Every structure is written in C-alpha cells, then in structure tokens.
Structure 1
C-alpha cells in the first residue's frame, strides 16, 4: 500500500512539473461579483452580530439608567444626612461628588462587562490605567486644577458668599467646582479663577470672622497739643454707629510727618468691602468734625524753602502815584 501511494505521488509530481514547463499558469482574474459578495457577507455578519448583542446592549443601557438614578438618590441621601451635622458646605458637596463618581465608575464597568462578555475586570482596570497615564500627560493642567479643587473643597476655610483676596483679585465666592472658582468682584464683574492659582498663592479670607479691623492715618499740626487730640478722636470714633463697639477703638501717635504729628486710628467693623467703605466714611467724617469743634488744626502740607543767598527786598509805597 505504501508503494502504491508513493508511485501515485511521483506520477502527480512529474505531471505538474511537465505542465509548468510547457505553459505558464495565468493568475486568477479579479471578480467584482466576488468582491461584492464578500462585502455583503461581511456587512450581514456585522448586522447579525449586532442583532445578537441587542439584548446585552439593552441590559447595559438599563444598568446605566439605574446608575444615574442611584447616583442622584445616594447624593441626596448624603446631603440630608450631612446637612443635619455641622459639616462645612464645601466638604458636604465634595462627599456627594465622590459618591457620584464611585457609583458611575462601578456602573460603567458593569455595563462594559455586559456588552463585552470576554472582558474581565482585570483587563478593564489595566486598560483604564494605561489610558489614565496617557490622558494625564495630555491634560496635565486640567487634572492639576481638578486635584487643587478637591483640596480646596476639603480643607480651605472659605465658603460660598465669602469675600476673598488673592494677589490683585478681590471678590465674593459664588461657586467652587472641582476645576475653577467663580468670584464676583465689587464692581459686578465675574472672574473665573483656576483652582491651582488659589492653591499656589496666599488667599486672604476677608469675611472669615464677623468683623475686621480697619485703620486710617490722620494728623494734627505741630503747634497743637497732640496728646490732647487723642481722647477727642477716640470719643468721636466710639460714637459712630457702624463700628463694633465691643472690640473698642485704639488711637496712637504714630510718628513725625512732613507737616503734622501722625495719628493712627483703628476700629472693628463689617468685613465686607461695602461695610468697610461705609464705616471708613463715617469715621473720617466724625474725626474731622470733632477736631474742628475742638479748634485743633488738621494742617495742609507745609513747605520750607531755603535759598543759598539772601534774597533782595524792595519796599513798595502804595500811596505813591505811578509815573
């Protein structure tokens, strides 16, 4: 049997070699019908696969809908639970956002596993890790503002409605998100500040307390009794309505000015920019009125001129007729 098979193979090989030596085998001709048939079969296969996966897609969409509903309910539940406590508003909002993010990540992962049955949690997390590295390099500043916003919501002492000052920016906090903070300036303009800017620079929270210390400089002439002016100024400021009387008024001699004895006046008032302007206006008016009533001069700037040579003096007789 082996000998017969070997003989048949030998005869076939000799015949193919003879045919190849006698004529060339033409290449197969391109068929449009075959290509169309192949394309049609491919499209139909994709469509049938889609129809076959439709139940999985419907279930995945249902899972995403349930995820969104669960996210809203749990966020509302956390807000109600933390609203009864003394937790800061920004920290409560951050807790709600973290809860929503965790729920959505879990829901998206579960929906992906349903649509792609061959996908495992380990593969999904591995792909997510590689994608996060690439996205992190591409959107470095966005993620920097994101994490700065989380830290601002977590530990910074200002809330919505507070007036803050950072470098040349002064305004009332209207909204704190995980990427930016909206500030309304006293002139009404809205400033959108990246959270990384607030995190990297000193921030002055003007309304952290119910009152803030104000200060102005005034002065009396050198010819006046400066010590006698101090109680007059203090009583005048204490009679003002917009100051915080419980914290008192302080008046000190501050130094020797170019034209007057400088006097420092400090008091406490409403910390907002508008409250500061109103209080300052009232205090300045009270000090001016009190010194005027006491006959104490608030001097204009004096200038003393010194000449290197004596100036010639000429008398003029106004009764002498002009020629």
Structure 2
C-alpha cells in the first residue's frame, strides 16, 4: 500500500513539475505570442488587400474572365496568409515544427490524392474550364444531358438552371469530358418542323405557300433564309421538312415552334392542300379462297348471338 502511495506521489510531483515548466515557458513567451498574433493579423489584412487590388486591376483590364480573376485573387490571399503563418511560428521558436508539418503534408497529400481523386479531378477540370472559357455566365449550354442557362462556374462544379427553373450542379469533370454545346456562341439556332401533305397535292405548291407564310413571321432570321424540302415519301403522306433559324437565346423556342406549326396549317388550308391522316390499304390476293371462311365466321357469330339472347 505504501508503495502505491509513493508511486502516486511521484507521478503527481512529476506532472506538477511539468505543468510548472510549461507555465513558465508560456509566461516567458507571452510577448512573443502577442507579436506572433499581431504579425498573423497584419499578413491576413495584407492578403485581403492584395486580393482586392488584383480584382480591381484585372477587372479594369481587357481580361474579362471572372473565374480566373477570382482564382488569382484567392490564390494570392492564401499565399500571403501562409507566409504570415510561417513568420508567426518562427517568432515563437516553432521553425522546426513548420518544417515537420510541411514534410507531413507532403506524405498526407499523396494519401489524400488517392482518397479524393474525384475532387482533385473536378478541381483541375474547373481550372481548365476557367482558362479555356468555352462559356460564360448567362450562356445557354447543353452538356451531360442537361440544357439550361449557366449561373456560375466554380472550381468543383458548374451551376446550370434548366428551362423548368431547376438548379442543377454538374461536376466539372463531366463538363470537361462530355460533349458541350454552347447555343449562345453564334447567337442563332436552327429549328426543323416536319409537315405532311397528301399524295394528290402539288409538292412545289405546298413548299411555295409554306415559305411565303413563314417569311411573314417575326423572329425568323432572313440569313440563313428559311427552306422547305421534300424529306420522305411516307406511308400515307408526302413528308416535307421546314428549316428556319431564330435568334437564340432571346427567342422562346416552344412559342416559336407553335407559331410555325400554325403558320404551316394556315398556308395549307388557304391553298386547299390536305394534311392526311395515317391510312392503311389492305389487299387480298384471292377473295374466292377466303369466301368460305367468311361464311363460316358469319354463321358462327350468328349462332353465338342467338345463344346470348
């Protein structure tokens, strides 16, 4: 029992001595800690001020890539803060700790690279998209089976608002690796409207009246001019294809399609050209061979009808 008390007493004394030593070191380093914290705040302010200057200078220049401006400003701010942290740790005599920390970060970085390779892939894709700038905020794009307006491009994902008003976040690696269509690049979009006419109608006359009616519409580009071609000899109609170009974005596609269909219908009605319903023609090779079967079927139907009565 006495031995246990002696061990407990020695442990308590050792812990007390160690705490006293740490307290002495802490008190002696209070001035250094104050200076280190002050240095850290100064560098943080310098970093924020540098970021503002970069944004202002690059914003006034011809360089109009907002994503790259944000990235450059944020990178400079982080770099200045990192340098300030190194100086602050040096003031409190933790230089070796900084070196050990950097070495540890190198090893941890390799491990984290494998664990977060998707995040790293999205980050690098976002950086490349910012440099290449295939689209900008407000453009209408189609990528990864999503069509909508670009709201923002971040380093991890691209924010797109589709035509239903939903916000969709697409990983940048999918944007970078997929087929990207920017409808705002050329400020124009082609629309194709299929129109069927009867076989008795004149194809040339139908094409003429349709184009005359379409050219009266507002919002249809004159160059390239609208065209109407014979596309197919269908099962019950001669199928024409009307091609027009519209301003896009800026034109309601669904409303324009509706107006085009109504214009085609008006033109064909005015020219008394019919739009046929789907029809099937049945031809029997030899009616004499199937007449006995028809008679037996008719007798069978009459017999069933009499039984039900």
TM-score, with normalisation over the residues of structure 2? 0.82
Q: Is the 8 A contact 1:270 1:276 kept in 2?
A: no
The one-character-per-residue Cα deviations of 1:261-291 (angstroms, maximum 9, x if unpaired) are 2222122223249621122122111111111
Deviation at 1:109, TM superposition (A): 3.1
- Alignment of structure 1 residues 173-322 onto 2, 5 Å: 173-272=150-249, 275-310=252-287
User: Of 74, 77, 95, which residue of structure 2 is paired with 1:97?
Assistant: 74
Distance 2:282 2:32 in 1: 96
Deviation at 1:29, TM superposition (A): 7.6
RMSD value, Cα: 2.8
Q: Which moved more, 1:60-69 or 1:34-43?
A: 60-69
Distance change (3 Å), C-alpha of 1:300 and 1:62? farther
TM-score, with normalisation over the residues of structure 1? 0.79
Question: In structure 1, the residue corresponding to 2:252 is in which secondary structure?
Answer: helix
Distance 2:100 2:137 in 1: 42
Deviation at 1:202, TM superposition (A): 1.3
Count the aligned residue pairs: 289
Question: In structure 2, the residue corresponding to 1:174 is in which secondary structure?
Answer: strand
Unaligned runs of 5+ in 1: 1-26, 315-323
Q: Is the 8 A contact 1:94 1:154 kept in 2?
A: no
Q: Is the 8 A contact 2:142 2:182 kept in 1?
A: yes
Distance 1:46 1:266 in 2: 83
Distance 1:113 1:243 in 2: 70
Q: Is the 8 A contact 2:44 2:81 kept in 1?
A: yes
Q: Is the 8 A contact 1:71 1:104 kept in 2?
A: yes
Question: In structure 2, the residue corresponding to 1:253 is in which secondary structure?
Answer: strand
Distance 2:92 2:120 in 1: 30
- Alignment of structure 1 residues 122-133 onto 2, 5 Å: 125-133=102-110
Unaligned runs of 5+ in 2: 296-309
Tell me which structure has the larger Cα radius of gyration: 1
1:68 aligns with 44
Question: In structure 2, the residue corresponding to 1:259 is in which secondary structure?
Answer: coil
Deviation at 1:103, TM superposition (A): 2.6
Distance change (3 Å), C-alpha of 1:150 and 1:249? same
1:78 aligns with 54
2:118 aligns with 141
Distance change (3 Å), C-alpha of 1:53 and 1:175? farther
Deviation at 1:224, TM superposition (A): 0.7
Distance change (3 Å), C-alpha of 1:151 and 1:114? farther
Distance 1:131 1:200 in 2: 28
